Structure 1
Amino acid sequence: MIENFGSNLARLRKERNLTQTEFSEMLGITKQTISNIEQSKAYPSFTTLEKISQLLKAGPTELFGTENEILLYNTPKLLDEVDSYQDKIHNILKLEQALEKINKIDLDNLVDQVSYIQNFFSKTPRTDETGEPILDNDNQVSFADSPYSKVPVQEIEKLAMQIKEIKRFKD
């Protein structure tokens, strides 16, 4: 078990993106001491071992265990990760199904409909017979009113109110 400590310490330190210098400063020991421990040339005191455990948030199995013992110890964490990936894969599959449905829609027709709606509410540049824009007195492009501006909105609203009154009276 103790023979695994040095390599496990180096692995855990690197997983946390700590250099030997940074880690030694956190522990209050020299960089050379960390190097010696990781090479199994020296072992930490119980006080230093406790600090290592706390700083790395590592238990005895992670510090002293063999590769297989660590894998077995980490199994619950791995299963949790598998569950989270399963949820992500499920969401990706749902997205793929939605995209397949979208692809089945006649996109050209949809674009034409959106363009028609946009043109209905937008002013359009006036053009001559050749398609060139007609300019106003200030040499700016002249715009025609949108088709929506020709809709008798007030009359439609008045008729809608009358229909509501008739319906209310009927009910």
Structure 2
Amino acid sequence: MTGTISYNLYVLRVERKLSIRKLSELSGISKSQINNIENGKQHPTVYTLCCLAEALNVPPYDLFTYCPP
């Protein structure tokens, strides 16, 4: 995890106790793509960010600015 989006995606997913597999099912984004985003190997499109945010039940903005409690 190298960037803000990568880190925030990981934290939000773990806080919700979601596996990459479950997030993939909820979002329609492949497991490998989620893994690559979390590991900073791939930059997500706006569409991908929106799908992931919806599956995590957060506004897309949180993927850029989320600060864990």
For the aligned pair, the TM-score class normalised by the smaller chain equals 0.7 to 0.9
Deviation at 1:65, TM superposition (A): 2.3
- TM-score normalised per structure 2: 0.78
Determine the C-alpha separation between the residues in 2 that align with 1:48 and 1:33.
9
Taking CA–CA contacts closer than 8 Å with sequence separation of 6 or more, which of the two structures ends up with the larger relative contact order? 2
CA distance in 2, matches of 1:4, 1:10: 10
Deviation at 1:40, TM superposition (A): 1.1
TM-score of the superposed pair, with normalisation by structure 1: 0.35
Q: Secondary structure at the match of 1:40?
A: coil
Q: CA-to-partner distance for each residue in 1:48-74, whole Å, 9 max, x for gaps?
A: 2111122212231x31127xxx26xx7
Aligned equivalents of 1:30, 1:54: Cα separation in 2 = 15
Higher helix share: 1
RMSD: 1.9
Residue in structure 1 matched with residue 13 of structure 2 by the alignment:
13
* Structure 2 residue runs without a partner (length 5+): none
In structure 2, the residue matched to 1:131 is: none
Asked if 1:24 corresponds to 2:24, the answer is yes
Q: How far apart are 1:22 and its partner, in Å?
A: 0.8
Paired residue for 2:58? 58
Query: Counterparts of 2:55 and 2:5 in 1: how far apart (Å)?
Result: 15
- Identical aligned residues as a percent: 35
SS at match of 2:58: coil
Give the gaps of 5 or more residues in structure 1: 75-171
Aligned structure 1 segments of 4 or more residues deviating by more than 4 angstroms: none
Give 1:19 deviation, angstroms: 0.2
Q: Distance in 2 between matches of 1:27 and 1:19?
A: 12
Number of residues of Structure 1 aligned to a counterpart in Structure 2: 66
Question: Where do residues 1-171 of structure 1 align in structure 2 (5 Å cutoff)?
Answer: 3-59=3-59, 60=61, 62-65=62-65, 70=67
Structure 1 distance, partners of 2:38, 2:46, is: 16
The amino acid across from 2:30 in the alignment is T
| 1:110-152 deviation digits (Å, cap 9, x = unpaired) | xxxxxxxxxxxxxxxxxxxxxxxxxxxxxxxxxxxxxxxxxxx
